[in-house]
């Protein structure tokens, strides 16, 4: 389900800044991806002496107190969550035309739980597994009209728990780089459309099957808008962010088992601090550390209700998560 740290593709900023020997910003999500994944959270490092390259790689290792997906699913919350992201970037084209950058992206994301999660439903039963999920990722990223990035990303959520089948999805995201205009106080706004291609990325169909013995709402979609205002202390490289996003689901995305669907499915606010690890020797990649907090409010009553089939075991209107991690860019 790719947490917020895997969702947008930030290769354009990464490669552009790497080649100009300036600050390099890496984003995990998730999650997006991709995801929000959500959803990559920015980690800033310095690549002052890095040689230009058309092939790059990003590794991100993150710990948190729970697995909270960008779509509001609280998958597990006991013990620690350990998530790993590996992405490869192949720059096909870079120039000064309307489409000024074309990059292929591929990778994989994993989630592990220190406490273990049930292999079969219902939640809490034995046997349990520490390996919760593995998600393949593939996409393209286009730099257009100088300050825009258009990315299209395919993901599949291959769940290892609760007899959940694999679902497939496509995310289309348009991001605007407003830093040339707002400088250090840029907002980094974006808009995305997320489509379920096969299966559900939430537990929306579960109450229909459990209580009514019938199929749920089926594959659906949502829209999302967000900003990530930030400020960087250039002398030490410390970057502070305050991301905000709103998820606008189709009525069938969370279903309407518990009540009428809301226009707003959830909103999220957060805070994050990132710092380059300059003590790492050159030749071992560009390292950065980050720590953050996010809060989600589940506006849609159906999203809140289906949490009884996840880790909370009851209807839940909100959740908060703390996380920390290390990113390495080669």
Cβ atoms within 10 A of the Cβ of 155, count? 31
- Could you tell me the residue ranges of all domains in the chain? 4-329
Q: Which of 215, 297, 288 is nearest to 262 (CA)?
A: 297
Q: What is the dihedral of CA 270, 265, 32, 2, to 10 degrees?
A: 90
Buried b / exposed e across 158-171, counting CB within 10 Å, b at 16+?
Answer: bbbbbebeebbbeb
Distance CA 216, CA 76 (A): 23
Cα-to-chain-centroid distance, residue 33:
4
Fold of 4-329: Porin (2.40.160)
Q: What is the mean pLDDT of residues 184-201?
A: 94
Q: What is the pLDDT of residues 296-314, one digit of tens each?
A: 999 999 999 999 999 999 9
Q: Which of 196, 204, 205 is nearest to 155 (CA)?
A: 196
Q: What is the pLDDT of residues 243-285, one digit of tens each?
A: 999 999 999 999 999 999 999 999 999 999 999 999 999 889 9
Q: What is the dihedral of CA 11, 13, 16, 20, to 10 degrees?
A: -130
3-state class (DSSP) for residue 114: strand
Contact 101, 143 (CB under 8 A): yes
Distance CA 114, CA 105 (A): 30
Neighbouring C-alpha atoms within 13 Å toward the C-beta of 320: 6
How would you class 149 by CB atoms within 10 Å of its CB: exposed for 0-12, middle for 13-18, buried for 19 or more? Answer: buried
* 17: enclosing H helix or E strand: helix 11-19
Q: What is the pLDDT of residues 42-66, one digit of tens each?
A: 333 334 444 578 999 999 999 999 9
Which tokens hold the place of 300? 């849609």
Contacts of residue 68, Cβ cutoff 8 Å, sequence gap at least 6: 3, 74, 75, 294, 296, 319, 321
pLDDT for 4: 52
Q: Which of 187, 195, 199 is nearest to 229 (CA)?
A: 187
Q: What is the pLDDT of residues 86-111, one digit of tens each?
A: 999 999 999 999 999 999 999 999 99
Q: What is the pLDDT of residues 137-166, one digit of tens each?
A: 999 999 999 999 999 999 999 999 999 989
Contact 329, 15 (CB under 8 A): no
pLDDT for 1: 63
**What DSSP designation does 187 have?**
-
| DSSP state string for 270-288 | EEEEEEE-TTSPTTS-EEE
């Amino acid at each position: 389900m790719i947490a917020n740290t895997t969702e947008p593709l930030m290769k354009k900023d990464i490669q552009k800044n790497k080649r100009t020997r300036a600050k390099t910003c890496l984003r995990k999500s998730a999650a997006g991806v991709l995801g929000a994944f959500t959803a990559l959270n920015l980690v800033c490092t310095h690549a002052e002496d890095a040689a230009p390259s058309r092939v790059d790689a990003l590794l991100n290792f993150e710990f948190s107190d729970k697995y909270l997906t960008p779509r509001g699913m609280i998958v597990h919350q006991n013990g620690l969550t350990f998530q790993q992201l590996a992405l490869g970037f192949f720059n096909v084209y870079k120039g000064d035309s309307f489409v000024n950058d074309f990059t292929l992206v591929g990778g994989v994301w994993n989630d592990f739980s220190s406490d273990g999660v049930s292999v079969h439903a219902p939640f809490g039963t034995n046997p349990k597994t520490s390996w919760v999920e593995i998600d393949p990722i593939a996409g393209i990223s286009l730099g257009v009209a100088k300050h825009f990035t258009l990315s299209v990303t395919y993901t599949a959520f291959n769940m290892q728990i609760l007899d959940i089948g694999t679902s497939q999805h496509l995310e289309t995201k348009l991001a605007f780089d407003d830093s040339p205009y707002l400088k250090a106080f840029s907002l980094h706004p974006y808009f995305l459309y997320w489509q379920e291609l096969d299966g559900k990325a939430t537990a929306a169909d579960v109450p229909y099957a459990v209580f009514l013995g019938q199929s749920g709402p089926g594959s659906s979609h949502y829209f999302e808008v967000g900003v990530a205002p930030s400020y960087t202390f250039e002398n030490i490289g410390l970057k502070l962010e305050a991301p905000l996003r709103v998820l606008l689901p189709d009525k069938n995305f969370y279903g309407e088992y518990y009540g009428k669907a809301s226009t707003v499915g959830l909103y999220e606010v957060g805070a994050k601090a990132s710092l380059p690890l300059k003590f790492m020797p050159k030749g071992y990649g560009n390292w950065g550390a980050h720590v953050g907090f996010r809060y989600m409010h589940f506006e849609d009553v159906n999203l809140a209700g289906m949490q009884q089939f996840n880790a909370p075991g009851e209807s839940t209107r909100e959740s908060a998560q703390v996380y920390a991690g290390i990113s390495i860019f080669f």
